[in-house]
Amino acid sequence: MSIVNSFAPAPVEDLSACYGPEPYDINFSLPIQNHLELLESDRVKLIPLIPRLHANLVVEQLTKAPEVLRWLPSRPTTLEDFLPFVERKFRRNPANILFLVLDKGRPDPAHPDLAGGIAGFISLIDTDPARMKTEIGWVVILPAFQRTYVTTHANGLLLRVCLELPDNGGLGLRRVQWCTHELNAKSAAAAQRLGFKMEGTLRWTTVLPEGMEGSGAQPRQGDPMEKNPGRGSVTLSMCWDTWEDGGRDHVHKLMER
């Protein structure tokens, strides 16, 4: 018997390819395009992030506040990094989708075509339709919009579209997960405030780029990626039964404040 093992990720040929096709194909494994009306409240709106329209605007903000990416597995703060990041991690991966977070209460006069000011971005990742689950990830809220209603509304909108049954306009998933760097206590606390249930810490879940802040011990000598620190992930979840048993009402009350 002879075998080969020749898989290689499809290369990103040049930056122009990272703007995606026209019309933009979000390439997501769930029919989110049929449920976008649930991704808007009286204060916040989520729309799919389209690099051709939004990448320059987002990068402009990230270069002013790179600290908002501190706990994330990568830090795409330039257009040359951000475009391949969106193309590889999101558009080419049907398990992931990236949303722009818009604050309707603070519109940007320079961009009246948007429904509000750009407050950051947020995503669904590791989505598995067969297991009826997804994860809220890459929650990046710009400093001017932190400690406001924006984060609560953005997460609440995603919980609503994920956990509501199709008869109520949602996707009818059974589990929404939240994972964060085990040193990022603020993120875990934010999830618990929303009603997520703590499940524990998964050890050595992520390999980080050199120079980033890991957790736990250094990799052992001889590790193939010895210079790359590792990260454990605090894991929480909001499941359908918690949502039905008071979780929905709790999130709605937070959003109404």
Q: What is the SS3 assignment for the chain?
A: CCCCCCCCCCCCCCHHHHHCCCCCCCCCCCCHHHCHHHHECCCEEEEECCHHHHHHHHHHHHHHCHHHHCCCCCCCCCHHHHHHHHHHHHHCCCCCEEEEEEECCCCCCCCCCCCCEEEEEEEEEEEEHHHCEEEEEEEEECHHHCCCHHHHHHHHHHHHHHHCCHHHCCCCCCEEEEEEECCCHHHHHHHHHHCCEEEEEEEEEEECCCCCCCCCCCCCCCCCCCCCCEEEEEEEEEEHHHHHHHHHHHHHHHHHC
Query: Tell me, what CATH number does 108's domain have?
Result: 3.40.630.30
User: What is this structure's pTM?
Assistant: 0.94
Q: Is residue 4 part of a domain?
A: no
**Domain-embedded: residue 89:** yes
Residue 98 lies in a domain: yes
The pLDDT, as a whole number, for residue 148 is 96
Work out the mean pLDDT of the chain and round it to a whole number: 95
Residue 12 has pLDDT above 80, yes or no: no
pLDDT digits (tens, 9 = 90+) for 203-256: 999 999 998 999 878 999 999 999 999 999 999 999 999 999 999 999 999 999
Tell me if 9 is assigned to some domain. Answer: no
| Total domain count, the chain | 1
For residue 56, give its domain range. 22-173+244-256
104 in any annotated domain: yes
Q: With pLDDT > 70 as the criterion, what percentage of the chain qualifies?
A: 100
pLDDT tens digit string along 114-161? Answer: 989 999 999 999 999 999 999 999 999 999 999 999 999 999 999 999
| 47, 115 contact by CB (below 8 A) | yes
Is residue 252 domain-resident?
yes
195: in domain: no
Q: List pLDDT tens digits, range 67-83.
A: 999 999 989 999 999 99
Closest CA to 231 of 203, 191, 194: 203
Q: Would residue 115 count as lying in a domain? A: yes
With a CB cutoff of 8 Å and minimum separation 6, the contacts of 215 are 181, 182, 183, 229, 230, 231, 232
Predicted local distance difference test score (pLDDT) of residue 11: 76
